Structure 1
Amino acid sequence: MTTTVTIKGQVTLPKKVRDAAGIKPGDKVEVRNTASGGIYIGKSGSEGAYLKKLQAIAKRYPIRGGTTDEIMRELRGDPADDYKK
Structure 2
Amino acid sequence: MSKMTNLTVKGQVTIPKDVRDALGLRAGEPVEIDWRGGEEAVIRKGSLGIEERKRRREAMRARIDSAAEKYRHLRTGQSTDDYMADFREPLP
Larger radius of gyration: 2
User: TM-score interval w.r.t. the shorter chain?
Assistant: 0.3 to 0.5
With normalisation by structure 1, the TM-score equals: 0.48
